Structure 1
């Protein structure tokens, strides 16, 4: 039996986290491809996270924060 989709407030928080990742990435003048390479991920995964279409694993959020040189907490506030 498939699980129920997440509630709207969860989707909104996911989009907000993606927006923060995108903003920091742009401040650092990195492309999605550059960030993906630094984080050891693929560009499509970065795109899905920034768009709020994917629910990232904690490990991937840690990798992104490290690649952007920001505390993880700054991305998920």
Structure 2
């Protein structure tokens, strides 16, 4: 049985986090493919995280922050 979609504010926050990840990634001149390789996920998942359509795990956020050399708090503020 599918669960209810998250509230709109959650989707908005996901997009904001994705925007910050994309900005940090492009600042580091990394492609989605390179970031994906660095953290052990596929490029499509990185794309979905950046678009805010993927409810990613805290573990992935920690790995992304580490790979981009930014504090996790900067991505999720």
Whether TM exceeds 0.5 here: the answer is yes
Alpha-carbon shift at residue 2 of structure 1 (Å): 2.2
Which residue is equivalent to 1:48?
A: 48
Counterpart of 2:26 in structure 1 is: 26
TM-score by length of 1: 0.95
Residue aligned with 1:4, SS:
coil
Runs of 4+ in structure 1 over 2 Å off: none
- 1:3-60, CA deviations, whole angstroms, 9 ceiling, x for partnerless residues? 2100110000000000000000000000000111111211011000001110101111
TM-score by length of 2: 0.95
Flag structure 2 segments of 5+ consecutive residues without an equivalent.
none
RMSD: 0.8
Q: What is the CA–CA distance in structure 2 between the aligned matches of 1:30 and 1:41, rounded to whole Å?
A: 15
Number of corresponding residues: 77
Structure 1 unaligned residues grouped into runs of 5+: none
